[in-house]
A and B are shown apart, each in its own frame.
Chain A
Amino acid sequence: MNPLELTLGIMTAVGGFVDISELVFAAKAGSTFGYALIWVFAVGTIGIVVFSEMSGRVAIAAKQPVFNLMRHRLGIKLGLLTLVASVISNLITCAAEVGGVALILNYLTGAPYLPMAAAMTVVMIVSIWVLPFEWIERVYGLLGLVMLVFAAALVAIHPPWDKIAGGFVPHIPAGLSTKELLTFAYFSVAILSAVMFPYEVYFYSSGGIEEGWAPKDMLKNRITSIVGMGLGSLLAIAILANSAQLFGPVNVDPEIPGTAAMQAAIPFGKWGLILALLGMFFAVSGAAVETCMANAYSIAQFFGWMWGRHKKPWEAPRFTLTWIVLFALALLIVLSGVDVMTLVEFAILFSILVLPLTYLPLLLLAGDKKYMREHVNGPLAKALGWLYFAIITAAALAALPLYFLTSGGNG
């Protein structure tokens, strides 16, 4: 195992962990409930680690990405339903990311939002066209490490570390009214959804095939999943903790991403603000690219087309046309004038509804000796996989009622 490659892989996972949904919900969760929702981030992170590791293992053992095998296992009707549901979910998520990038650019430069959305879509399309897969992942992932300014800000504001540590223990704050309890539950579901977005697993497993992972990369897969996503999650938790310390006591509701950037401005001034906005810009752009490519992977793999950015764009024409069209559709959604925060809410909702359909086939595939041979799920992976499937199914059932009962978390 090449230590440099492994380090790059971990750093890419760290820088690529936070997207617009996690940013928004981490900041809101902190300002609304203090440190009480940290454990939900931790629970969600364990979940995404479990399923990412599984999807990487499936890619290595079966030499196929998840969606290729999903249709075979589910059959065409249920497979098509899963595909349509995940395409819609990922498209809305991509639109939220594109809108988020445009908003951040508006904060950074003052340029108008809609033209920035169009311009950034073109830039992202060009970047996917020009760069080979490894560099797409690394450029956005490594530049996203600028988000570490949020972790630095947390250290600089001297938070109550004991309370942050206490936030990792699963609990519900005492003394909440029924409305507040429901809002807490909604935030829990939303955070779970944001951390365990389906596109992450599709992108990760297809990325493994793109990079030519072989059985010797099993350990790399495991370390990248656990360490990379674990550390990335700490960044999201830092945003939550900053918000709890800075915004909660003064009743500031970080409705827009710009407010979250103030977390770094307060301790570090102008440069803190600039670095925070730059970090958000790269992280959210990276998420836009990932969601778009994850969708293109799913569609191409479902229909058996040639796919992958390890090929030149003209060597996989239908795949290329698909991701360009998907980016264009995401941009159209943004240009229709739908508010970015509304898109984030819808992305979260659709994602949690689709999650059980996404993860069940993966769980079954990873547990099938015929495909996995000696790399089949062990007792721990099996237990955790089924536990998380139960959790996300419960969350999926609760999502819509909680959304309506709490007016999308606004109480």
Chain B
Amino acid sequence: MRLTDLRDKKVRSLDGETLGRVHEVHCEGRRVVALMCGAASLIERWTARQVGERIPWELVKRVEADAIIVAFDPPSASRSRRGTRQASGPRSKR
């Protein structure tokens, strides 16, 4: 698998809901720990802002040709502009 197989790919929950597109992959100790997904725009990359959902790699079920399927149900509250929402655990601001 390559980074380009993940990046810009649609992320869908098991229910089929589209959660966004992968715009960042987080690694620690050479292991992929999370995907960042959301409506990533060029401006966000240019300004290096962090916006969107953080999806731990453990919740990724499969990587298909056109989407990444995750076991993740996004909370109904609106997305924070500055912070990120974790798929599990307490909300944290970055």
Contacts and interface: CB of A to CB of B under 8 A. Distances in A.
Chains A and B touch (C-beta atoms under 8 A apart):
yes
Interface of A: 73-75, 78, 361, 364, 368, 370
Interface stretch (B27-35, B43-51, B75-83): B43-51
A364 B47 CA distance: 7
A78 to B, nearest CB: 7
Interface residues of B, number: 5
Nearest to A74: B46
A368 B45 contact: no
- Report whether over half of chain B's contact residues are helix, strand or loop; otherwise say mixed: helix
A368 B48 contact: yes
B42 interface: yes
The SS class assigned to the A binding surface is helix
Contacts of B45: 73, 75
A73 B42 CA distance: 10
Nearest to A365: B46
11 contacts: A73-B45, A73-B46, A74-B46, A75-B42, A75-B45, A78-B42, A361-B46, A364-B46, A364-B47, A368-B48, A370-B48
Given A73-B45, A78-B42, 9 more contacts: A73-B46, A74-B46, A75-B42, A75-B45, A361-B46, A364-B46, A364-B47, A368-B48, A370-B48
A78 B46 CA distance: 11
Nearest to B46: A364
B78 to A, nearest CB: 28
Contacts of A364: 46-47
A360 to B, nearest CB: 8
10 shortest interchain CB distances as A-B pairs: A364-B46, A73-B46, A75-B45, A368-B48, A78-B42, A364-B47, A370-B48, A74-B46, A75-B42, A73-B45
A386 to B, nearest CB: 13
